[in-house]
Amino acid sequence: MPVASSRVAIYPGSFDILTYGHLDIIQRGRKLFDRLVVAVASNSSKTPTFSIQERIDIIRAVTGPMGNVEATTFTGLTVNFAESQGARFMIRGLRAVSDFDFELQLAITNQQLDRNVETIFLAPSPEYIFLSSSLVREVWRLGGDITKFVPPEVREALDARKG
């Protein structure tokens, strides 16, 4: 009897701030794969709200009950990280048409770098289609209620920053 191979995917991003849109993609992606690695990247062009370790800790707190989801950080090329994890798939979220051009360029570049890693695009559920970390950060900064946009662990971590 043949042994089933493990289907592994990575979901790379900065995840600063983790939103319900991200969580929607994580929950749906984990159903498609045996193991889903949420890969937190450092983006030098952004000023993050949370350190990389804080982002990983938040992701782990939120996804802990899911079982087949892990969170870790990486540096370098995403396709190289995918290979190091034994992942043949990369999940990317598409919110709007404006995301498509960039994400398609990224997917084609990654395919040129490593033909063994396939990019899978997932659209968030309709209630999260226009939700972004930048939007949440601005609403929070201006004192607005973000409970509809982020898990409680994120809101608590943000509130601790105000304190």
CATH number, domain at 107? 3.40.50.620
Domain that holds residue 52: 8-162
CA distances, 122 to each of 14, 22, 42, 66, 75 (Å): 17, 11, 22, 19, 24
User: Which pLDDT tens digits describe the chain residue by residue (163 residues)?
Assistant: 343 458 999 999 999 999 999 999 999 999 999 999 999 998 767 788 999 999 999 999 999 999 899 999 999 999 999 999 999 999 999 987 778 889 999 999 999 999 999 999 999 899 998 899 999 999 999 999 999 999 999 999 999 987 6
Q: Is residue 2 part of a domain?
A: no
Q: Is residue 1 part of a domain?
A: no
Q: Nearest to residue 92, comparing CAs of 80, 73, 75, 79?
A: 79
State yes or no: is 46 an active-site residue.
Answer: yes
pTM surpassing 0.75? yes
* Residue among 7, 95, 137, 155 flagged as catalytic: 95
Domain count, the chain: 1
Give the pLDDT of residue 98.
Answer: 74
Q: Which residues of 50-66 are buried (b: 16+ CB within 10 A; e: fewer)?
A: bebeebbebbebbbeee
State yes or no: is 95 an active-site residue.
Answer: yes
Q: Is residue 3 part of a domain?
A: no
